[in-house]
Chain A
Amino acid sequence: MSNNAIPRDFVKNVLQNGVGRYVCQLKRITFRFCKSHGGSRHMRDFIENNLLEFTQKNPGVVCYLQPRRHRPPSVVAEFLNGRREVMLLSGKEVPEICKWVEHMRTRSGVQIVNMIQNNHTETPSTQGIWHPFMFRDSEMAATEFPSKKFSQIQVTGKTATDLVLEEQLKVSSSESSDSHIEGK
Protein backbone atom coordinates (compact mmCIF):
# COMPACT_ATOMS: atom_id res chain seq x y z
CA MET A 1 0.00 0.00 0.00
CA SER A 2 1.32 3.41 -0.82
CA ASN A 3 2.11 5.68 2.05
CA ASN A 4 -0.37 8.34 0.92
CA ALA A 5 -3.29 6.01 1.56
CA ILE A 6 -2.63 5.98 5.31
CA PRO A 7 -4.28 9.04 6.91
CA ARG A 8 -1.88 11.27 8.85
CA ASP A 9 -2.41 14.27 11.07
CA PHE A 10 -0.79 16.54 13.62
CA VAL A 11 -1.36 16.35 17.37
CA LYS A 12 -4.49 18.22 18.39
CA ASN A 13 -5.73 19.65 21.63
CA VAL A 14 -9.52 19.70 21.44
CA LEU A 15 -10.94 23.07 22.58
CA GLN A 16 -7.67 23.89 24.38
CA ASN A 17 -8.45 21.27 26.98
CA GLY A 18 -6.22 21.44 30.07
CA VAL A 19 -5.05 25.01 29.51
CA GLY A 20 -7.48 26.20 32.17
CA ARG A 21 -8.88 23.00 33.66
CA TYR A 22 -9.30 19.49 32.34
CA VAL A 23 -12.72 18.39 31.04
CA CYS A 24 -13.46 14.73 30.33
CA GLN A 25 -14.26 14.51 26.63
CA LEU A 26 -16.42 11.39 26.89
CA LYS A 27 -20.04 12.56 26.85
CA ARG A 28 -22.10 9.39 26.70
CA ILE A 29 -21.39 5.68 26.81
CA THR A 30 -23.89 2.94 25.87
CA PHE A 31 -23.43 -0.71 26.82
CA ARG A 32 -25.29 -2.96 24.41
CA PHE A 33 -25.80 -6.60 25.35
CA CYS A 34 -28.22 -9.56 25.25
CA LYS A 35 -29.98 -10.64 28.44
CA SER A 36 -30.13 -14.33 27.59
CA HIS A 37 -27.36 -15.17 25.10
CA GLY A 38 -24.04 -16.66 26.20
CA GLY A 39 -22.01 -14.20 24.11
CA SER A 40 -22.89 -11.34 26.44
CA ARG A 41 -21.97 -13.24 29.63
CA HIS A 42 -18.87 -11.19 30.45
CA MET A 43 -20.65 -7.94 29.62
CA ARG A 44 -23.42 -8.86 32.04
CA ASP A 45 -20.80 -9.63 34.69
CA PHE A 46 -19.21 -6.25 34.07
CA ILE A 47 -22.53 -4.45 34.43
CA GLU A 48 -23.27 -6.33 37.65
CA ASN A 49 -19.91 -5.79 39.35
CA ASN A 50 -17.96 -2.89 37.83
CA LEU A 51 -20.35 -0.43 36.21
CA LEU A 52 -21.53 1.23 39.43
CA GLU A 53 -17.97 2.05 40.44
CA PHE A 54 -17.32 3.57 37.00
CA THR A 55 -20.42 5.77 37.21
CA GLN A 56 -19.59 6.91 40.74
CA LYS A 57 -16.07 7.88 39.71
CA ASN A 58 -17.23 9.72 36.59
CA PRO A 59 -20.36 11.75 37.31
CA GLY A 60 -19.84 13.75 34.09
CA VAL A 61 -20.35 10.71 31.83
CA VAL A 62 -23.87 9.53 30.99
CA CYS A 63 -24.22 5.74 31.00
CA TYR A 64 -26.94 3.86 29.12
CA LEU A 65 -27.77 0.14 29.16
CA GLN A 66 -29.35 -1.14 25.99
CA PRO A 67 -30.46 -4.80 25.98
CA ARG A 68 -30.79 -6.19 22.47
CA ARG A 69 -32.03 -9.71 21.83
CA HIS A 70 -29.52 -12.18 20.33
CA ARG A 71 -26.90 -9.61 19.37
CA PRO A 72 -23.21 -9.50 20.26
CA PRO A 73 -22.14 -7.13 23.08
CA SER A 74 -20.68 -3.75 22.16
CA VAL A 75 -19.88 -0.34 23.58
CA VAL A 76 -20.83 2.96 21.93
CA ALA A 77 -18.85 6.02 23.00
CA GLU A 78 -19.93 9.54 22.11
CA PHE A 79 -17.56 12.46 22.58
CA LEU A 80 -17.96 16.19 23.07
CA ASN A 81 -16.71 16.90 19.56
CA GLY A 82 -19.64 14.92 18.14
CA ARG A 83 -17.78 11.78 17.13
CA ARG A 84 -19.29 8.39 17.87
CA GLU A 85 -17.30 5.18 18.15
CA VAL A 86 -18.58 1.62 18.30
CA MET A 87 -16.42 -1.18 19.67
CA LEU A 88 -17.45 -4.82 19.52
CA LEU A 89 -16.64 -6.64 22.75
CA SER A 90 -17.69 -10.20 21.93
CA GLY A 91 -15.35 -12.74 23.50
CA LYS A 92 -13.74 -10.09 25.74
CA GLU A 93 -13.60 -10.90 29.44
CA VAL A 94 -14.35 -8.52 32.31
CA PRO A 95 -10.84 -7.08 32.86
CA GLU A 96 -10.48 -6.40 29.15
CA ILE A 97 -13.90 -4.70 29.01
CA CYS A 98 -12.77 -2.52 31.95
CA LYS A 99 -9.63 -1.59 30.02
CA TRP A 100 -11.52 -0.61 26.85
CA VAL A 101 -14.02 1.48 28.83
CA GLU A 102 -11.09 3.25 30.53
CA HIS A 103 -9.55 3.79 27.09
CA MET A 104 -12.73 5.47 25.90
CA ARG A 105 -12.82 7.65 29.02
CA THR A 106 -9.25 8.91 28.64
CA ARG A 107 -9.56 9.74 24.96
CA SER A 108 -10.22 13.17 23.48
CA GLY A 109 -12.51 11.89 20.76
CA VAL A 110 -10.22 12.74 17.87
CA GLN A 111 -9.89 10.00 15.29
CA ILE A 112 -6.75 7.91 15.80
CA VAL A 113 -4.46 8.35 12.81
CA ASN A 114 -0.74 8.21 12.06
CA MET A 115 0.97 11.07 13.84
CA ILE A 116 3.31 13.31 11.87
CA GLN A 117 5.01 14.97 14.84
CA ASN A 118 5.20 14.24 18.54
CA ASN A 119 4.61 17.84 19.54
CA HIS A 120 2.59 20.83 18.47
CA THR A 121 3.29 24.50 19.07
CA GLU A 122 1.65 27.72 17.96
CA THR A 123 4.83 29.73 18.64
CA PRO A 124 7.76 27.90 17.07
CA SER A 125 10.42 30.41 18.08
CA THR A 126 10.98 32.99 20.82
CA GLN A 127 14.41 34.30 19.89
CA GLY A 128 13.84 34.25 16.12
CA ILE A 129 14.22 31.49 13.55
CA TRP A 130 17.75 30.92 12.27
CA HIS A 131 18.50 31.96 8.70
CA PRO A 132 21.76 31.88 6.71
CA PHE A 133 22.48 35.59 7.25
CA MET A 134 21.75 35.62 11.00
CA PHE A 135 25.28 36.11 12.38
CA ARG A 136 26.78 37.55 9.19
CA ASP A 137 28.20 41.01 8.71
CA SER A 138 25.49 43.26 7.34
CA GLU A 139 28.09 45.12 5.28
CA MET A 140 27.49 42.60 2.48
CA ALA A 141 23.97 43.90 1.94
CA ALA A 142 25.15 47.49 1.35
CA THR A 143 28.09 46.90 -1.01
CA GLU A 144 27.97 46.90 -4.78
CA PHE A 145 29.09 43.82 -6.62
CA PRO A 146 31.53 42.84 -8.02
CA SER A 147 33.61 43.93 -5.03
CA LYS A 148 37.22 43.06 -4.41
CA LYS A 149 36.69 42.26 -0.76
CA PHE A 150 33.94 39.72 -1.10
CA SER A 151 35.32 38.14 -4.28
CA GLN A 152 38.42 36.90 -2.46
CA ILE A 153 38.66 33.23 -1.70
CA GLN A 154 38.18 32.47 1.98
CA VAL A 155 41.19 30.39 2.88
CA THR A 156 41.13 28.53 6.15
CA GLY A 157 44.22 26.72 7.38
CA LYS A 158 47.47 26.31 5.50
CA THR A 159 47.30 25.54 1.80
CA ALA A 160 49.76 23.26 -0.04
CA THR A 161 51.41 26.36 -1.53
CA ASP A 162 51.98 27.78 1.95
CA LEU A 163 53.57 24.53 3.10
CA VAL A 164 55.91 24.43 0.09
CA LEU A 165 56.87 28.09 0.62
CA GLU A 166 57.59 27.41 4.29
CA GLU A 167 59.78 24.45 3.39
CA GLN A 168 61.63 26.60 0.90
CA LEU A 169 62.19 29.26 3.55
CA LYS A 170 63.55 26.68 5.98
CA VAL A 171 65.92 25.24 3.38
CA SER A 172 67.16 28.63 2.30
CA SER A 173 67.73 29.79 5.90
CA SER A 174 69.62 26.61 6.78
CA GLU A 175 71.75 26.96 3.63
CA SER A 176 72.62 30.54 4.48
CA SER A 177 73.57 29.58 8.06
CA ASP A 178 75.73 26.74 6.71
CA SER A 179 77.48 29.11 4.34
CA HIS A 180 77.97 31.47 7.23
CA ILE A 181 79.72 28.74 9.27
CA GLU A 182 81.87 27.76 6.30
CA GLY A 183 82.79 31.36 5.81
CA LYS A 184 84.02 31.54 9.41
Chain B
Amino acid sequence: MKSTHLADTKTSRYLGVAGIEEAEDFTPLSDKDLQTSVSNDINTTLEKGEMGRLFAIVYIRGMQYKVTPEDIIVVKNDFPPNVGDKIRLEKVMAVGGRDFSLFGQPLLSRSVVKVEATVVEKTLTHNRVWYVFTRKKNTKTFHLYRERQTMLVINSIQVAQLPQEEEEGGKE
Protein backbone atom coordinates (compact mmCIF):
# COMPACT_ATOMS: atom_id res chain seq x y z
CA MET B 1 0.00 0.00 0.00
CA LYS B 2 1.33 3.44 -0.93
CA SER B 3 1.03 6.16 1.64
CA THR B 4 0.25 9.74 0.79
CA HIS B 5 2.31 12.43 2.46
CA LEU B 6 0.46 15.70 2.97
CA ALA B 7 2.49 18.77 3.73
CA ASP B 8 2.03 20.58 7.03
CA THR B 9 -0.30 17.93 8.35
CA LYS B 10 -0.74 19.27 11.85
CA THR B 11 -1.76 22.79 10.78
CA SER B 12 -4.11 21.52 8.13
CA ARG B 13 -5.79 19.19 10.62
CA TYR B 14 -6.35 22.11 13.00
CA LEU B 15 -7.84 24.20 10.22
CA GLY B 16 -10.00 21.36 9.00
CA VAL B 17 -8.23 21.38 5.64
CA ALA B 18 -6.68 18.28 4.15
CA GLY B 19 -3.46 19.51 2.53
CA ILE B 20 -3.22 23.21 3.22
CA GLU B 21 -0.79 23.87 0.37
CA GLU B 22 -3.08 22.31 -2.20
CA ALA B 23 -5.97 24.66 -1.41
CA GLU B 24 -6.33 27.59 -3.79
CA ASP B 25 -7.07 30.07 -1.01
CA PHE B 26 -3.63 29.78 0.48
CA THR B 27 -1.48 30.37 -2.61
CA PRO B 28 1.20 32.89 -1.63
CA LEU B 29 1.09 36.08 -3.69
CA SER B 30 4.62 36.07 -5.08
CA ASP B 31 3.32 36.85 -8.58
CA LYS B 32 3.06 40.61 -9.12
CA ASP B 33 0.17 40.46 -11.58
CA LEU B 34 -1.80 38.37 -9.10
CA GLN B 35 -1.11 40.93 -6.37
CA THR B 36 -2.40 43.83 -8.44
CA SER B 37 -5.45 41.88 -9.53
CA VAL B 38 -6.30 41.10 -5.90
CA SER B 39 -5.93 44.73 -4.85
CA ASN B 40 -8.03 45.75 -7.87
CA ASP B 41 -10.77 43.33 -6.80
CA ILE B 42 -10.73 44.74 -3.26
CA ASN B 43 -10.86 48.28 -4.60
CA THR B 44 -13.86 47.48 -6.79
CA THR B 45 -15.71 45.89 -3.85
CA LEU B 46 -14.97 49.01 -1.80
CA GLU B 47 -16.18 51.26 -4.64
CA LYS B 48 -19.41 49.33 -5.07
CA GLY B 49 -19.97 49.23 -1.31
CA GLU B 50 -20.24 45.45 -1.25
CA MET B 51 -17.76 44.96 1.58
CA GLY B 52 -20.51 44.23 4.11
CA ARG B 53 -19.90 44.93 7.78
CA LEU B 54 -16.22 45.68 8.32
CA PHE B 55 -14.30 44.28 11.25
CA ALA B 56 -10.84 45.11 12.54
CA ILE B 57 -8.32 43.79 15.02
CA VAL B 58 -6.99 46.65 17.13
CA TYR B 59 -4.11 46.61 19.57
CA ILE B 60 -4.60 48.53 22.83
CA ARG B 61 -2.27 48.32 25.83
CA GLY B 62 -0.90 44.89 24.96
CA MET B 63 -4.30 43.40 24.18
CA GLN B 64 -5.84 42.58 20.82
CA TYR B 65 -9.55 43.14 20.31
CA LYS B 66 -11.69 42.08 17.37
CA VAL B 67 -14.14 44.90 16.82
CA THR B 68 -16.96 45.94 14.50
CA PRO B 69 -18.90 49.23 14.68
CA GLU B 70 -21.11 49.64 17.80
CA ASP B 71 -19.05 47.14 19.78
CA ILE B 72 -18.07 47.85 23.35
CA ILE B 73 -14.65 46.88 24.72
CA VAL B 74 -13.06 47.19 28.15
CA VAL B 75 -9.52 48.49 28.61
CA LYS B 76 -8.00 47.52 31.94
CA ASN B 77 -6.00 49.65 34.36
CA ASP B 78 -4.69 53.14 33.60
CA PHE B 79 -5.96 54.64 30.34
CA PRO B 80 -5.59 58.43 29.99
CA PRO B 81 -8.58 59.43 27.76
CA ASN B 82 -11.50 60.82 29.72
CA VAL B 83 -15.23 60.21 29.41
CA GLY B 84 -16.75 61.60 26.20
CA ASP B 85 -13.44 61.78 24.32
CA LYS B 86 -13.40 60.68 20.70
CA ILE B 87 -10.22 58.83 19.87
CA ARG B 88 -8.72 57.12 16.86
CA LEU B 89 -7.32 53.63 17.42
CA GLU B 90 -4.14 53.76 15.37
CA LYS B 91 -2.68 50.29 15.89
CA VAL B 92 -4.83 48.23 13.53
CA MET B 93 -3.44 44.75 12.89
CA ALA B 94 -6.05 43.49 10.46
CA VAL B 95 -9.22 44.59 8.76
CA GLY B 96 -11.75 42.57 6.83
CA GLY B 97 -15.12 42.59 5.10
CA ARG B 98 -17.49 40.00 3.72
CA ASP B 99 -15.10 38.56 1.14
CA PHE B 100 -11.68 40.06 1.79
CA SER B 101 -9.19 40.41 4.63
CA LEU B 102 -6.13 42.65 4.93
CA PHE B 103 -3.35 41.75 7.34
CA GLY B 104 -0.60 44.12 8.43
CA GLN B 105 2.98 43.10 9.01
CA PRO B 106 2.39 43.71 11.91
CA LEU B 107 0.32 46.91 11.56
CA LEU B 108 -1.69 48.36 8.70
CA SER B 109 -0.87 51.85 7.46
CA ARG B 110 -2.68 54.89 8.88
CA SER B 111 -3.70 55.88 5.36
CA VAL B 112 -5.47 52.57 4.71
CA VAL B 113 -7.61 52.03 7.82
CA LYS B 114 -9.34 54.38 10.25
CA VAL B 115 -10.95 53.07 13.43
CA GLU B 116 -12.71 55.61 15.64
CA ALA B 117 -13.98 55.10 19.18
CA THR B 118 -15.64 57.04 22.02
CA VAL B 119 -14.85 56.69 25.71
CA VAL B 120 -18.18 55.93 27.36
CA GLU B 121 -17.42 54.98 30.93
CA LYS B 122 -14.61 54.90 33.48
CA THR B 123 -15.28 52.73 36.50
CA LEU B 124 -13.75 50.36 38.98
CA THR B 125 -14.16 46.60 38.97
CA HIS B 126 -16.01 44.78 41.72
CA ASN B 127 -13.96 43.78 44.76
CA ARG B 128 -11.43 41.14 43.86
CA VAL B 129 -9.88 38.89 46.49
CA TRP B 130 -6.15 38.36 46.80
CA TYR B 131 -5.66 35.69 49.42
CA VAL B 132 -2.35 33.99 50.22
CA PHE B 133 -2.12 31.17 52.73
CA THR B 134 1.03 29.31 53.74
CA ARG B 135 0.66 26.03 55.54
CA LYS B 136 2.28 25.56 58.98
CA LYS B 137 3.88 29.03 58.90
CA ASN B 138 1.11 31.06 60.54
CA THR B 139 1.04 33.39 57.53
CA LYS B 140 -1.95 34.48 55.58
CA THR B 141 -2.82 37.70 53.81
CA PHE B 142 -6.25 38.86 52.74
CA HIS B 143 -6.62 41.83 50.44
CA LEU B 144 -9.54 43.27 48.53
CA TYR B 145 -8.64 45.41 45.55
CA ARG B 146 -10.39 47.14 42.66
CA GLU B 147 -8.90 47.85 39.25
CA ARG B 148 -9.68 50.72 36.91
CA GLN B 149 -11.67 50.03 33.76
CA THR B 150 -12.42 52.09 30.67
CA MET B 151 -15.26 51.25 28.28
CA LEU B 152 -14.85 52.18 24.61
CA VAL B 153 -17.57 52.19 21.99
CA ILE B 154 -16.41 51.69 18.40
CA ASN B 155 -17.98 54.34 16.16
CA SER B 156 -16.68 53.53 12.69
CA ILE B 157 -14.23 51.47 10.68
CA GLN B 158 -13.20 52.91 7.32
CA VAL B 159 -10.98 51.41 4.64
CA ALA B 160 -9.44 53.58 1.93
CA GLN B 161 -8.63 52.51 -1.62
CA LEU B 162 -5.55 50.31 -1.71
CA PRO B 163 -2.45 51.71 -3.41
CA GLN B 164 -1.75 49.87 -6.66
CA GLU B 165 2.06 49.89 -6.55
CA GLU B 166 2.87 48.37 -3.18
CA GLU B 167 0.57 45.83 -1.61
CA GLU B 168 0.56 45.38 2.15
CA GLY B 169 -0.31 41.74 1.94
CA GLY B 170 -3.81 40.62 1.27
CA LYS B 171 -5.92 37.71 0.27
CA GLU B 172 -9.33 37.36 -1.19
Residues of chain A at the chain B interface (Cβ within 8 Å): 6, 11-13, 16-19, 22, 24-25, 103, 105-108, 112-115, 118-123, 126-127, 130, 132-136, 154-159, 161-162
Contact = CB atoms under 8 A, between A and B. Distances in A.
Interface residues of B, number: 47
Interface of B: 1, 3-6, 9, 15-18, 23, 52-55, 63, 65-68, 70-74, 76, 82-84, 96-99, 101, 118-126, 149, 151, 153, 155
A13 B120 contact: yes
B16 A134 contact: yes
A147 B3 CA distance: 20
A18 B5 contact: no
A115 B74 contact: yes
20 contacts: A11-B151, A13-B120, A18-B155, A19-B70, A22-B118, A103-B124, A108-B121, A115-B126, A118-B74, A122-B71, A123-B53, A126-B54, A127-B96, A127-B99, A130-B16, A132-B16, A155-B4, A156-B3, A157-B9, A158-B3
Contacts of B9: 156-157
Contacts of A25: 121
B70 to A, nearest CB: 6
A17 B17 contact: no
Given A106-B121, A136-B16, A156-B4, A123 B74 contact: no
Given A113-B126, A126-B53, A126-B54, A13 B151 contact: yes
Given A126-B53, A156-B6, A157-B9, A19 B153 contact: yes
A108 B124 CA distance: 12
B68 A126 contact: yes
Given A17-B153, A126-B54, A156-B4, 8 more contacts: A19-B153, A22-B83, A22-B118, A115-B125, A118-B63, A126-B55, A126-B98, A135-B15
